[in-house]
Amino acid sequence: MDLLRDMTNLKHILVEGITVLLCLFLAAYVWAQPFAGMSDAIEQGDYGNVKAVVISRHGEIIYEGYFRGTQADDLHEVHSVTKSIGSALIGIAHRQGRIRLDQDLTEFFGDLYPMSQPPYANKQSITVEAILQQRHGIEWDEWSLDYSHPQNPVQAAIRSGDWYDYILRRPMDARPGEKFTYSTIGSTLMSRMIRYATGQSAEHFATLELFDPLGIESFRWAFSGVNDTGNQWPNPDNDVPLGMGLWLNPRDMLKIGELYLNGGLHNGRRILDQSWVDASWAAYSNSNNTEIFADSPGSGYGYQWWTRRITDDLGRTWAWKYAVGWARQYIQLIPELNLVLASVADDYDYDGPGIGALLQSFILPELSPILDRRFNGAWYDPETDGQGLTLEVLKEGARLIGFWYTYGENGGNRWFTFDGDINGSTAVVSIIQTSGGAFLQGDPVTRSEWGTGRFSVFDCDHITFEINSPDVTSSVPLTRLTGSCSAQ
């Protein structure tokens, strides 16, 4: 009995200890939660009816918040985010050699419709790439009327009973490739492309080639009552649309963003080619050729992905890639920061500040790029042109070495080297002064410790170099002279 009582007491002690440790862990997690004040602002509705935000950096979730009764596993209709995922499926089929970008619609729809006869005949020159770029040339306007309006062409296509036929009968108002015309039903043509090229439905192909490899187990397609109760999708094959209607949870949306951030790789498995990711984010439609981007240089549209530049509250500007759906469903990436954000909202009737404003004010100001090999190259202070530094991050990414070319008070050359450890966005180095030696001669070089320095990344083109030595204490703003954050 004593043994039993002792074992029982031990069990209580262990349980209490584990509970205390768990409480301490959770408390630490809460206190360590980044982006102070953001959750409160979302709760108060300052940024619309946001329901969930999940953020990862370098593949690790750093923030996760659910609001307005939402749970982590809840599926949300992501609307046009579906287009970006549809583009990924075309990219997978392209990698497998099943789809070419120059294939025209006749190849995919010729067994369904008389593509050589009016009104289909003028669609023959529309290619896979033109559909991906939304530069198909078909007359279409789904932005002038709300999507719920019965005269919106998306609604009209659904009511027609065959949305492929509906859009393929529409008149052309430009040659393919000539202008940007956003069309949800145009994007649904990708569904037929997948079936024709692979012999599988878009849903089956997505499950096998994208969702299963990423560990996405829970999803469905439904749109405005269509197929909610077993109705047929309005196309000859009853295929799910790749332009709309997909439901996902935010964590799984995040996985799609991370796949693109990692250049098409997931856990060492290549799902998309790096070249496909690059093409998806190229601005084929931009401020030079498309009116909606005219006031936003750097903005554009790729393969069913949007691209812009965003300026945070510190005045830093970042490349911004995103998939977006009606009512503010987002997968957003800031590649320079290795950042992915997935969010869902219920903002059908709200046009105030949203996730973009949160990104600018709460998220980006807390983050700086990791000091890695993207920062290799030449740097200088514009105020002291003619002198500068060369930096090199060693391959393993934990050590910074460099060379400082400058001048003494009398105008003579002074040479320094430095070497130190990297910790995230900073590096602390020893600064070594060198003297002696002669050009093309083997004279010995004298090395002596001159001081210490600290490099702190501000953004991809600016670093602060803090110097501390008996001779001088200073802070030098450095600007990039060579290289870029896009270089790995």
pLDDT of residue 34: 83
More confident of the two residues 346 and 411:
346
Report whether 235 contacts 191 (CB < 8 A): yes
How far is it, in rounded angstroms, from Cα 170 to Cα 150?
A: 18
Strands 377-380 and 473-480: antiparallel
Average pLDDT over residues 380-408: 91
Read off the pLDDT of residues 12-71 as tens digits, 9 standing for 90 and up: 433 444 333 334 333 333 334 689 899 999 999 999 999 999 999 999 999 999 999 999
CA dist 294 and 287 (Å) reads 4
For residues 79 and 325, is the Cβ–Cβ distance under 8 A?
yes
Helix (H), strand (E) at residue 53: strand 50-57
Let me know: does 189 contact 108? Beta carbons within 8 Å. yes
**Mean model confidence pLDDT for the chain:** 90
Per-residue confidence (pLDDT) for residue 19, from 0 to 100? 39
Q: Minimal CA–CA distance to 351: which of 327, 329, 323, 330?
A: 327
- Cα separation of 91 and 96, whole Å? 9
Q: Which of 401, 384, 373 is nearest to 484 (CA)?
A: 373
Token representation of residue 418: 């430095």
Q: What is the pLDDT of residues 291-323, one digit of tens each?
A: 999 988 889 999 999 999 999 999 999 999 999
CA nearest neighbour of 178 among 284, 275, 299: 284
Return the higher-pLDDT residue of 437 and 102: 102
Q: Work out the angle at residue 207's Cα, subtended by the Cα atoms of residues 205 and 211, and round it to the nearest 5 degrees.
A: 125
Q: How far apart are CA 179 and CA 296, in angstroms?
A: 17
Of the candidates 170, 174, 176, 185, the residue with the CA atom closest to the CA atom of residue 113: 170
At residue 10 the predicted structure's pLDDT band, cuts being 50, 70 and 90, is very low
Burial class of residue 62 (count of CB atoms within 10 Å of its CB; 0-12, 13-18, 19+): middle
244-257 average pLDDT score = 97
Listed residue (135, 183, 137, 134) closest to 163, CA to CA: 183
What mean pLDDT do residues 210-214 have?
Answer: 98
